[in-house]
Amino acid sequence: SSSSSFFLFILVLRILAMAEGYGGEVGAGCCSSREAHPAPPTNPHAVLLPYPLQGHLTPMLQLAKILAFRGFAITVVNNEFIHSRLISSVQPHWLSSIRLVAIPDGLGAAESRVHLYSNRERILATENQAGPFAELLEKFRHESHPVTCIISDSLLCWTQDVADKLGIPRVVLWTSSVVGFLPFFHMRQLVSRGYLPIKAKDSSSLDKEENYVTDIPGFPSNFKISDLPSYIQVEDLTDFFWQHGLRAMDMLPRAACLIFNSFEELEGRSIDATRRNIPVFAIGPLLASAYVGTPEKLGVSFWKEDDTCLGWLDMQSPSSVLYISFGSLAIQSTEKVEELALGIEASNLPFLWVIRPNTLKGKTSAFLPDGFLCRTAGRGRVISWAPQHSVLSHSSVGGFLTHC
């Protein structure tokens, strides 16, 4: 959109101002001699640190590609597991403008990153990276092109402590919708106004009109307590995930700015509600092809993509297909998958449904309702993983059902 292009331009100017004010020194006060650290070249150096999940990694890599196209020197830092997958899938010529670096995550070599990276373990594993990440930035201090800013995922709140310690501005990226950000942004207000902690886990009671969230800035008028993200629907405010989300939000005012993978024309009201204590830029959707003018891929897939689904989509009517995918790591119960399958069947809509090999202990069609694949064979397809960017941009896809 035109607003996204404008805000991207403003963001670039802001980062350039960081470079000018920074004077080429990483870690203010670490060295008294400016000559020991030559001033950076005209193009600023941004170090990007994604959260190690597919839906967080992809928009960060798209942002990396966009900034590299605009002359930035880019370093993308991942744990060793993600790094190895990225190296094997990235197009080689992009490595001339985007440097990929791996740091350890503190886990043992025999531990499975795919299965471990869920919930509490995933968060704790990312916090193991704080020391190696700080050491990497210190290493950059001795190079001829020091760091202008850190761009890190909003969930990696510990990067703010590292940035403050080294005197480097941090830019925060929220990768999903702004309306999904608002419940986290207003966590303290939800408590002070009595919506949280919840009084009962009975979902039917949470859907009653008296449990509508009516006085939180930016929330839709029909927003219910049951619509809050599961990490926020807590009965105990000492809950691990609640405390992690609260810490991430409390650190936001210390950041240089907050950027959203959204745009004003789509979520203008919600975006306006976030403009408090920190500059906000909505620069989405983060699709590098829209800025760079090429469909070339820069990304990593946690699973082998089934490209044959694109030929099937070519045979469907425009805007007719419901695409269903619940991310790279979420585990679902048999009951939920069966209930969803019955709903899909009853809808009579054409559908493309991604069911990963490890969605439920390595099973795929075995836990779908009996006869489901036969009854829907003429209008639906179930695959293990999809080339999501290509699917979502396909003319036959009219809807997307996902987890967040």
Q: Which residues are catalytic?
A: 56, 153
CA nearest neighbour of 262 among 323, 344, 352, 179 = 179
The 10 Å Cβ neighbour count of residue 216 is 16
User: How far is it, in rounded angstroms, from Cα 81 to Cα 85?
Assistant: 7
User: How far is it, in rounded angstroms, from Cα 103 to Cα 242?
Assistant: 27
- Long-range Cβ contacts of 241-250 (<8 Å, 24+ apart): 241/119, 241/120, 241/123, 242/187, 244/123, 244/155, 244/157, 245/184, 245/187, 246/187, 246/188, 247/157, 248/154, 248/155, 248/157, 248/184, 249/184, 249/185, 249/187, 249/188
Grouping H, G, I as helix, E, B as strand and the rest as coil, residue 252 is helix
Give the largest CA-CA distance in the chain: 74
Q: Please report the DSSP string for 355-381 in residue order.
A: --TTTBTTBSGGGSPTTHHHHTTTTEE
User: How far is it, in rounded angstroms, from Cα 338 to Cα 340?
Assistant: 5
Within 13 A of 125's CA, how many CA atoms are on the CB side?
Answer: 25
Kind plus residue range of the DSSP H or E element containing 142: none
47 forms bridges with which residues in the sheet? 75, 150
User: How far is it, in rounded angstroms, from Cα 339 to Cα 331?
Assistant: 15
Give me the phi and psi of 359, to 5 degrees please.
-60, -40
